Amino acid sequence: MASAPPDSEPGSAMPTASSLAPDTTIAVIGAGRLGTVLAGALRAAGFDVRGPLRRDHAIPESDVALLCVPDEAIPAAAADAATAAQSVGHVSGATGLDAVDFSIHPLQTFTGSEPPEVLHGIGAAVDARTPAARSVAEQLVRVLGMTPFEVGDRAGYHAAASVASNFVLTVLDAAEGLAIAAGIRNARDVLAPLVGRTVQNWREHGAANALTGPIVRGDEATVTRQRTAVAAMGRPELTGLFDALTTATRALAREQSETAGRGQP
């Protein structure tokens, strides 16, 4: 396909649903974790993929340009991509569509070394400026094995993703440190089954119904001993984290008690 004129608005020469064929040319801009994974997955799906390209590389003429760059770099990268691609999208979960035609945000965490199968079965937040752009975005999502969904409040959605992934790692790092201080060498191996079962119970029953431990039992003496152990680590940020989590968990325990009192499952 011919590229859009340099002064075109995003989406002015949008590929149609029927034209997004396996030989569609896709430039992936950004050679970080997600850019690397998406480039490999798109190539495995049969698309003609250029990249992943570093941001300082020239963008070849393409049907679609997919920006896998930091949020603050999207406007400049989109302006460059618009001179070479008919359709421009980004993969940010928090950034709007001011500079692009569509967005795709795979709701998953990546290291950059995963095979294309890592995308199979996950959700991807999709947004677009036009029906044609939405068609392109949803086709890309589905061909990679993901399920598209829409988001109302992008900031709230991205905060939910951060809590579910980034902040969980912060909590797990604290747990690992405490386990090591308690004399457990292979802390991650020991804790991982507990974490996995906790996530499964949360998925199946919700947080309030899955909650166990001293707080939900009302065992404040044990909670006090736990806090003493945390303080002994000599890391004030962990003590503050423990206190904040204790407060939030007490609220969750009250919700569990209230639910049980109403006789609800």
In the predicted structure, residue 144 carries a pLDDT above the cut 80: yes
The token pair at 142 is 């589905």
Percent above pLDDT 70 for the chain: 90
Give 265's pLDDT tier (boundaries 50, 70, 90). Answer: very low
Q: Where are the domains of the chain?
A: 17-151, 155-261
Check for a shared fold between 17-151 and 155-261: no
Tell me: pLDDT of 6 over 50: no
Question: What's residue 55's pLDDT?
Answer: 86
**pLDDT for the residue 259:** 67
pTM: 0.83
Distances (CA, A) of 140 to 3, 40, 126, 239, 241: 19, 13, 10, 45, 40
> Which tokens go with 94?
């928090």
pLDDT tens-digit series, residues 25-66: 999 999 999 999 999 999 999 999 999 999 889 999 999 999
Contacts 24+ apart (CB under 8 A), 173-182: 174/238, 174/241, 174/242, 177/233, 177/235, 177/238, 178/229, 178/230, 178/233, 178/238, 181/229, 181/232, 181/233, 182/229
pLDDT at 18 over 80: no
Fold classified for 17-151: Rossmann fold (3.40.50)
Does the pLDDT value for residue 4 go beyond 70?
no
Rounded to whole angstroms, the Cα distance separating 136 from 44 reads 18
The 10s digit of each residue's pLDDT in 197-212 is: 999 999 999 999 999 9
- Report how far residue 30's alpha carbon sits from residue 44's, in angstroms, rounded to the nearest whole number: 18
Q: What is the model's pLDDT at position 206?
A: 95
Whether the link from the prior residue into 115 is cis, omega within 30° of 0, is no
Answer yes or no: is pLDDT of 1 > 80: no
Whether 101 and 87 have beta carbons less than 8 Å apart is answered as: yes
Confidence (pLDDT) at 186:
95
Lowest mean pLDDT among 7-11, 91-95, 155-159: 7-11
- pLDDT higher than threshold 70 for residue 17: no
Predicted local distance difference test score (pLDDT) of residue 20: 74
Per-residue pLDDT tens digits for 86-105:
999 999 999 999 999 999 99
Q: Are 30 and 53 in contact (CB under 8 A)?
A: yes
Q: For tokens 């061909």, what's the residue?
A: 143
With contact defined as beta carbons under 8 Å apart, do 77 and 35 qualify? no
Residue 126 phi/psi, 5° resolution? -125, 135
In sequence order, what are the residues at sequence separation of 6 or more whose Cβ sits closer than 8 angstroms to the Cβ of residue 120? 144, 145, 146
Residues 159-198 have pLDDT tens digits of: 999 999 999 999 999 999 999 999 999 999 999 999 999 9
Q: Does residue 14 surpass a pLDDT of 70?
A: no
Give me the percent of the chain exceeding a pLDDT of 90.
86
Report the alpha-carbon distance of residue 161 to residue 150 in Å, rounded. 14
Domain 155-261 CATH assignment equals 1.10.1040.20: yes
Angle 191-194-198 from CA coordinates, rounded to 5°: 140
Q: What is the pLDDT of residue 104?
A: 98
